[in-house]
Chains A and B, each alone.
Chain A
Amino acid sequence: MQAGNHKPIDLSINTDLARRILTGFIHSEITRVGFTRGVIGLSGGVDSSLACYLAAEALGAENVLAVLMPYKSSSPDSLEHAQMVIDLLGVQSLTVPITEMVDPLFERFPEASQVRRGNAMARARMIVLYDQSEAFHGLVIGTGNKTEILLGYTTLYGDAACALNPLGDLYKTQLRQLAQAMGIPADILAKPPSADLWLGQTDEGELGFTYAEVDQLLYLLVDERYCPEECVAAGFAQDFVRKVVERIQRYHFKRVMPPIAKLSNRTVGYDFLYLRDWGT
């Protein structure tokens, strides 16, 4: 898809400041509720690697459990890169293949599309992570970034499931700056982003545009409150703007709690309002 001919928009961040705020956030949100440890699904990609680096710095490497959850078709590179992160950081690790969990479902529904299979894999990984959360006495640290949250490029109750998310307000291109500053290996930074749910899948191939382009458009739409017409006037292609705006709206359901039908005078979510950090 042609993204258009706009002026480049500077998305650079101060990585020292981001690092300080995010490690403080992880430490605060885990320890204030009585935990000391975190659990992370480590894919070998840049997002989960960065979450692992931040968690190790916030909690101490010994308090972080990196869980590798390959499916039989997962790229061998993914495991190798995940192992590289584990070795560099000295975090605890565990490998729990999900093949035996999801294959019976795929045998029962051989016609299942790639999307169904991908969702089932993401949700199987969620089950493993939350099981380890209890076993390891740690909270699940999410790895979703602002770009994929806004585009809805995530599996509800799958990779989106977590107890806290340090990365969700960083666009992918900003997250990469922080990953680079924290010393994440070049091999991990260099490879094309992929959910690795099927062979040859890449985020940018599936979405139909690059992170570099869409992050700039999202920044104008969301952070700067541009209307779609103003984005087109700024030089973004009309089709690209329309597609992104539609995605943001269509997938909003993934960003909110399921609506509760109001009957009483006081209802959770509407007029029973407390932060999660209530009392801590």
Chain B
Amino acid sequence: MKLSLALAQISTHLGNVTANLEKHLAIIEEARAAGADLLVFPELSLTGYVLQDLASTVAQRATSDNPVFHHLLQASKALDLVVGFVDEDPRHRFYIASAYLARGEVMHVHHKVYLPTYGLFDEGRFFAWGDSIQAFDTRFGRAGLLICEDFWHASPPYLLWLDGADLLLFTSASPGRGLNAEPYLESARWVEHINRAYASLFTTFVAHANRVGYEDGLNFWGGSTLFDPDGELLAKGPYHQEALTLVEVDLDQLQRTRTRLPLLRDERTALVRREMERILGNASR
């Protein structure tokens, strides 16, 4: 089975959902015309990243009666979409969220579980922590969504793998940092490194859509990637410029790789659970 995957590394308007929605609809049309089956937008693609006190004013509900999602759900009848937004729950907690939309329906919403609140990051001050990591079914097989810091931790991709995801869809608004003599930033090197590692360790597809542009002095570096179950880089967007990166994914590669390298078959999940219970039951750790 083939999947035509598109990664949209866009720049966003900070706090201007209307302008960002227009850009989404234009890129969706471009991807549709290019034959994409699934289009992934970056973290907080509808709002911009350093929202601070804007968080509550840009928040949406991923429902068909929401005017923003109404347009996106209509568009998802032509191709599947992953969009980034601020989700407001009925009790007014605000989450950094990604939604998977297909055939006019919301198939899954992921709330960012790990909110970086250190260094230049202050997400925990403004957002509620997500409390669930679940894979979900798509017409391309089972998939999983994670947002930026979620996959700086090893456990969320591992949980998605065990929950059946063979297509890991990662989104980021990663501020570029760590300029040295290399032709890429340290933040880019790190993210590419771990994404290749997840693809290899879990013999799975790992797609990453990262935004570009600036917010005040922060730059966002783009460089969206797709790694295959062998850990090979199949596609990469340019650094620091808007791009729509299209790649044809041969999902049958999963079978070939896992025949050669049955890491999933041999994963000792009962042992993991037993040891986790022992470790977590030990108050000193």
Interface residues in chain A, defined as those with a beta carbon under 8 Å from any beta carbon in chain B = 10, 12-14, 16-18, 20-21, 24-25, 28-29, 169, 271-280
Contacts and interface: CB of A to CB of B under 8 A. Distances in A.
Given A274-B53, A275-B50, A278-B54, A13 B214 contact: no
Interface string B174-200: 001001111111000000000000000
B182 A14 contact: yes
B160 to A, nearest CB: 32
A10 B181 contact: yes
A24 B181 contact: no
A277 B16 CA distance: 11
Interface string B74-111: 00000000000000000000000000000000000000
B184 A17 contact: yes
B52 A21 contact: no
B52 A280 contact: no
B217 to A, nearest CB: 7
Given A17-B184, A17-B239, A25-B214, 7 more contacts: A13-B181, A17-B185, A21-B176, A24-B214, A275-B50, A276-B216, A279-B14
A80 to B, nearest CB: 32
Contact of A279 (B13, B53, B180, B181): B13
A169 B182 CA distance: 17
Contacts of A29: 214, 216
7 contacts: A10-B181, A25-B219, A274-B53, A274-B54, A275-B216, A278-B14, A278-B15
B180 A13 contact: yes
B183 to A, nearest CB: 5
Contact of B180 (A14, A20, A28, A277): A14
A164 to B, nearest CB: 8
B187 to A, nearest CB: 12
B240 interface: yes
Interface string B35-70: 000000000000000101110000000000000000
A277 B216 contact: yes
B240 A21 contact: yes
Interface in B212-266: 213-217, 219, 239-240
A17 B53 CA distance: 32
Contact of A277 (B14, B179, B184, B185): B14
A118 B217 CA distance: 29
Contacts of A21: 176, 179, 219, 240
Nearest to A174: B179
Q: B-side binding surface: helix, strand, loop or mixed?
A: loop
A29 B11 CA distance: 13
B181 A14 contact: yes
Contacts of A13: 179-181
Contacts of A12: 180-181
A99 to B, nearest CB: 35
B52 A17 contact: no
B236 to A, nearest CB: 16
- Closest 10 pairs between A and B when the two form their complex, measured CB to CB: A273-B52, A28-B214, A12-B181, A275-B216, A273-B53, A277-B14, A21-B219, A275-B50, A277-B215, A13-B179
A33 to B, nearest CB: 11
A53 to B, nearest CB: 18
B215 A14 contact: no
Given A24-B240, A29-B214, A273-B53, A17 B183 contact: yes
B126 to A, nearest CB: 8
Given A273-B53, A274-B53, A16 B176 contact: no
A272 B52 CA distance: 9
Contacts of B52: 273-275
A279 B11 CA distance: 13
A10 B214 CA distance: 28
B181 A275 contact: no
A117 to B, nearest CB: 32
Contacts of A275: 14, 50, 52, 215-216
A278 B184 CA distance: 28
Interface in B2-53: 11, 13-16, 50, 52-53
A20 B217 CA distance: 14
A84 B83 CA distance: 50
A18 B182 CA distance: 11
Contacts of A25: 214, 217, 219
